[in-house]
Structure 1
């Protein structure tokens, strides 16, 4: 006589486990880390008018202070990317968080141009590994079909954090003085560093991931456990980052993408107060609207790009289309020169920043193109190219405003650079595919 086998007696391996979702824990860390990162580099824009009055600075001198971050941030991108590939994102990004938060906090005690300029140089130096680390984490933790949306989510941290915090920072400014802005944002960053060290691990070392999720990531083109924590980088490998048109195209294009961004991160609050005559508290609230629009734009661009990949559209078309349309949309910022209505100005700025946000999924191309051994270093070179605009844009705008007494020429400058970026993605960036290093 035979008896039916009860379901409960089946061996455990026959019950297929569902993949865990540990990658979204890591993405949440990137989101908050990026939000704090941008608070620390943008708080100067909120405090700029008050600092200018308090320290007796003209527009050109203020432009130099606003650009100081970019000098060290841009030129430390390649060393920062090398550090990520050499020592891994957990250690390097954690130390970076602590250092840039301290440099932020110390700005609250600055008394003159030289001290502020030096501390902003230190801030740029210490923040340099952040975005190469983001790119490296996404490449390790996410399959290709989810990578644009993941990039969009952490990039949205830039804008969501600013949208939420801008009214709060203006309230701090009007209630306690400009020094309070740096003290508060610096402490927030130090506290988050402890959270990062507590939760972030590489996929192969994380206690939150199971084998099914690792297989899902690996089978989808994610690096998962394929990349050792530490890599030996040689020039024979690194030169691949300068050999191909894909890289040169995204380098030039990223300069254009971040030029619009750095107008909003440096001069936008001063533009509202000085050019449009808005009070500080009102600037805090209406000025947050373009940041919200940009955050939505990033998510739209990321979701749309991944949706096209899932529908079988080529990776090249899926990645480049939101970027090109976003850069073309950012050109509309010039329309703000032709209206005096505050409502229309905010509407124009919001649309332009929405479009810029949509184009900001460009980091996905680094994960898609870079050799798997050089994702961190490739992110460093890419971010170096993009953040040259952190130097150029604040200085050029400061000089234009100082010479003309108006922001109109500055707005035209931002729009023209965005157009150049769109043309670069159309005519220079070729097929999007991973470049392999031949041993």
Structure 2
């Protein structure tokens, strides 16, 4: 079940986050400017934001298999249609619809982990689930260039559609919805959003997006423009850091399993995150030779805690609300992720990299204070209707 969940989310990540590999081909084939091609590349992410909570409701109401298989089937269809369109406007619209459909895996795959893994193993399982994004981007990076070479943009989109189709078939045939204990007939689960702890985890997660994207989005540019690395060397180092961050998610999941808490490790890691970003800012401002090493360390640390927040959200929400809560978590994080690069880009232009990294560190420290303490977390209630 874990492998199928990772595959489902990863197949969505192949086209949602792999489209930037198509930028040169989109410009050449459709005669687009970089900004216009960027709109097409960003269309799946925009579509995903609209439907994440809705797909969470579908998973909560009808089950994980139906949500994942149905959404990925629709994404397959939209990608297939996008491959044959000749209009840039239609291409952007169809890719947006594919993103809206593929968002089903983001909420439902987390519910599979929540339902099939006991609490003492759930942290590592959710850590594996959170490796789907870097794995999906790696697959896209490996398959997209040769597909473009053979068949252009159409060939690359068809490869992405085939990946979604194969995953759809596997999910439809093999995923088994986990049992949902604790709900007798005539009972319904109370909304978990009456508990401030869940809001605090959402808020802390939004704050932690900034240091993650401050390092991930600008690491290559900093190394090339400020430290005079070659693009190839900087890209290779950043790619390795991405995989190290994925490994960090597994280690943090194991840490939370052993601690019996998600929010405790999340608070401590946010403190380390903030300290690393502030040390990086000081080194960048001073022009120290060890700034690149601190940058990579800060990037790995910033990526490592992502699974802790998702596990905490799913457990705080409970089985009946987990899909919607994880959809809300994804939506909030993606909104901040979309705003962070342009905002920090403007800040870097006017005040330099050191100021941007310092701001990221301060926000990480604020996230540590925002995250609820283990004693503030309580299990979601179940109430009978009147």
Q: Match of 1:294?
A: 245
Q: TM-score, normalised by structure 2?
A: 0.79
* Cα distance change, pair 344–274 in 1 and its aligned pair in 2 (3 A): closer
- Cα shift at 1:296: 1.2
Maintained 8 Å contact 1:293/1:351: no
For residue 101 of structure 1, the aligned residue among 50, 73, 76 is 76
- Cα shift at 1:226: 3.9
- Cα shift at 1:43: 1.2
Q: TM-score, normalised by structure 1?
A: 0.70
1:436 has 2:381 as partner? yes
Output the CA distance in 2 between the equivalents of 1:267 and 1:174: 29
Q: Give the unaligned 5+ runs of structure 1.
A: 1-25, 205-222
Output the CA distance in 1 between the equivalents of 2:80 and 2:322: 31
* Cα distance change, pair 408–195 in 1 and its aligned pair in 2 (3 A): farther
Cα displacement string for residues 174-197 of structure 1 (whole angstroms, at most 9, x for unaligned residues):
665444332212211111111111
Q: Give the unaligned 5+ runs of structure 2.
A: none
Cα displacement string for residues 286-338 of structure 1 (whole angstroms, at most 9, x for unaligned residues):
553232122112112111221222xxxx5542454335534654677768977
Maintained 8 Å contact 2:223/2:234: yes
Higher Rg? 1
Output the CA distance in 1 between the equivalents of 2:165 and 2:4: 14
Maintained 8 Å contact 1:152/1:302: yes
- Cα shift at 1:437: 3.9
Cα displacement string for residues 390-424 of structure 1 (whole angstroms, at most 9, x for unaligned residues):
54246557x849x96x9966x96577356424412
Q: Match of 1:57?
A: 33
For residue 299 of structure 2, the aligned residue among 333, 342, 353 is 353
Deviates more, 1:287-296 or 1:348-357: 348-357
Maintained 8 Å contact 1:104/1:185: yes
For residue 331 of structure 2, the aligned residue among 355, 364, 384 is 384
Output the CA distance in 2 between the equivalents of 1:174 and 1:28: 31
- Cα shift at 1:94: 0.8
* Cα distance change, pair 153–305 in 1 and its aligned pair in 2 (3 A): same
Corresponding residue SS for 1:186: helix
Maintained 8 Å contact 2:211/2:363: no
Q: Match of 2:101?
A: 126
Output the CA distance in 2 between the equivalents of 1:116 and 1:257: 33
Q: Match of 2:13?
A: 38
Q: Match of 1:375?
A: 322
Output the CA distance in 2 between the equivalents of 1:299 and 1:52: 38
